[in-house]
Amino acid sequence: MSAQADRKTENLPQWKQEEVDDLEALIENYESVGIVGIAGIPSKQLQDMRRDLHGTAELRVSRNTLQVRALETAGLDDLVDNVEGQVGLIGTNDNPFTLYKELEASKTPAPINEGEVAPNDIVIPEGDTGVDPGPFVGELQSIGANARIEDGSIQVMEDSTVLEAGGEVSADLANVLNELGIEPKEVGLDLRAVVAEGVLFDPEDLDIDIEAYESDVQTAAARARNLSLNAPFPTATTAPTLIAKATGEAKSLGLQAAIEDEDLMPDLVSKADAQLRALAAQIDDEEALPAELQDVSAPAAGAAGSADEDEDEDENESADDQGAETDDVDTDDDDDEDDGDGAEGLGAMFG
């Protein structure tokens, strides 16, 4: 506690000191502490809001002077300027963005009274008012609504803006809105500022589109992964994909070069068998394919090898789908050359 704050709490009546202590306890017990406006909220509705917040946040309403003392004692001077008018202290262990979203969602429509300032444009919508013909049509017209009597009732012919945001509500407008059941304002706890981990957040900082923000984060993560894959720069996330890609490229190179490696032999045999059968199919001779192979299907090992290649391709495609512009190994030309070599060898065999 600072010396200045200490002096301010000297000679306080016992009940005021106890109130300041309770406010200080609220500040101490929560990770996020803010100031909320409570003007215009009926007492019963305020109690309902306090009850709805139970388990998520704690609201305490007290004299402004006592709230200021508690904030200064706790070192939250940044919030003091927001203690003006009818306000309360709110504490929560949620982050400020969650608190703001919850308080905004809890607001409810309410009538507006004479002399109040319109929080937004007040519009009387097009349609049947449900009011029988009478003096009320004149009242609507006097406040600027395009209204007339049709089909036995008073109709508003088009959406009519009768007061722009920031304008003061007249007695005539308040009466018309009340008659039509239009509630143009929202009543609820108005978060003015909140401090979390020493950082001050204003409502403008907290009013964000959560879905758009999440989309931006996902896009940034995908681009970072793409950069890591193309660099290549291994991380815990990209290492499996990089290893799978390198494995597939090494295997493709081994097959193209016909390296007699133990792991490649099943695929090499499968490839040679496929080339043999393709060539035999082009020869108009039932005995073009050796008799011992005519009733034998392609080697299972070769099929397994093909499946392995498919898996490698799937890995690469998965990386491409997330924005990774990886270079695919081009095997078409080499395969054609291998097919040619196989044809010459087998031609010599059957020649």
Q: What is the mean pLDDT of residues 179-206?
A: 93
Residue 148, amino acid: R
Q: What is the pLDDT of the chain when averaged over all its residues?
A: 82
Please give the pLDDT value at position 276.
81
CA-to-CA dists, residue 178 to 17, 47, 109, 146, 168, angstroms: 45, 25, 13, 18, 16
Please give the pLDDT value at position 347.
37
CATH fold for the domain made of 14-107+188-207: Alpha-Beta Plaits (3.30.70)
> For the chain, which residues make up each domain, given as ranges?
14-107+188-207, 116-182, 212-281
* Interval 62-119: pLDDT, tens: 999 999 999 999 999 999 999 999 999 999 999 999 999 999 988 888 889 999 999 8
Please give the pLDDT value at position 297.
65
Q: What is the mean pLDDT of residues 204-224?
A: 90
Q: What is the mean pLDDT of residues 150-163?
A: 93
Q: What is the mean pLDDT of residues 183-193?
A: 91
Please give the pLDDT value at position 8.
52
* Interval 35-46: pLDDT, tens: 999 988 888 888
Residue 15, amino acid: W
Assess whether pLDDT exceeds 60 at residue 177: yes
What is the Cα–Cα distance from 225 to 138, expressed in whole angstroms? 66
Q: What is the mean pLDDT of residues 5-32?
A: 83
Assess whether pLDDT exceeds 70 at residue 336: no
Please say whether the beta carbons of 72 and 64 come within 8 A: no
Count of Cβ atoms closer than 10 Å to residue 128 Cβ: 12
What is the Cα–Cα distance from 265 to 305, expressed in whole angstroms? 9
Q: Which CATH architecture has domain 116-182?
A: Alpha-Beta Complex (3.90)
Residue 174, amino acid: A
Q: What are the helix (H) ranges across the chain? A: 3-9, 14-29, 43-52, 64-73, 96-105, 136-142, 171-180, 203-206, 210-230, 239-257, 265-281, 291-294, 300-321, 332-350
User: Does the global pTM surpass 0.75?
Assistant: no
